[in-house]
Amino acid sequence: MSEILVVDDLVFDVRRSSSRKSLGITVDRSGELIVRGPEEVDDAQLRQFIREKQFWVYTKLAEKDALRSGPLGREYVEGEGFQYLGRHYRLHLVEKQDVPLKLKDGRFVLRGFDKADARAHFIRWYAEHARPWLKRRVALWQDRIGVEPTRIEIRDLGHRWGSCGKRGNVNFHWASILLPAKIVDYIVVHELVHLIEPHHSPEFWFRVERAMPDYESRRRALALLGGETL
């Protein structure tokens, strides 16, 4: 009978092995969570490790949902819905306009003959609008946290919402701009605190909570919303 370990709302199948020297977490294709470690590791150590990796686990779960229902894999047809800062906007196709894609009068408007490259146009539009918006949010939070990033970049970060470098650079996934503003703020705070605390240590979460007391509810919302937006 397999051993189960529950940490908050996450349920892990525990796999111990005499040949294993380190701890590791796997999120399989179905979303099943597995934590692996040496035979001698106890539940307390496993719980601590899981809490340090909890943000990564939530992000991976969101990614699994995204692979099943991601919006940029949708058909680019009249009336299709796309997210922007947590709001839903319908797509309207037109014969002529000055740019391939724009947000106008509460709708995304796509030039008809650009439909074949619609995904690229959406990504470009999201990235262009994410850059100034996220810079303003970073400026709002950095003083509260006590950091000053050297550079802010918008990139395709694969399975990560954000990252930060040793030189003080902070990077955000272009798709973060699809999420509600409160959830994006959590990503911003998370990465800014990493400039002080590189690991998900108790001190890291203490600093996150001090800057954003309701961070836990926002983190859970990120896991729930991520699959609908990425």
Query: Which tokens sit at 56?
Result: 């990564």
Alpha-carbon torsion angle 33, 34, 40, 46, nearest 10: -20
pLDDT score at 31 = 67
Fold of 117-229: Zincin-like (3.30.2010)
Residue that the structure tokens 């724009």 belong to = 102
Q: Which of 41, 32, 36 is nearest to 10 (CA)?
A: 32
pLDDT score at 56 = 80
Say how far apart CA 118 and CA 141 lie, in whole Å. 34
pLDDT score at 229 = 41
In 53-123, the DSSP E strands lie at 81-84, 87-94, 101-104, 107-111
Say how far apart CA 168 and CA 55 lie, in whole Å. 20
Question: Could you list the pLDDT tens digit for every one of the 230 residues in the chain?
Answer: 458 888 877 888 899 999 999 999 988 755 678 899 999 999 999 999 998 888 788 777 765 554 444 455 567 899 998 889 888 889 999 999 999 999 998 999 999 999 999 999 999 999 999 999 999 999 999 999 999 999 999 998 877 889 988 789 999 999 999 988 999 999 999 999 999 998 888 999 999 999 999 998 888 888 766 544 43
Domain ranges of the chain: 3-52, 117-229
pLDDT score at 6 = 86
Query: Which tokens sit at 193?
Result: 């605190």
How many other C-beta atoms can be found within 10 angstroms of the C-beta atom of residue 170?
22
Q: Collapsing DSSP states into helix, strand and coil, what is residue 207?
A: helix
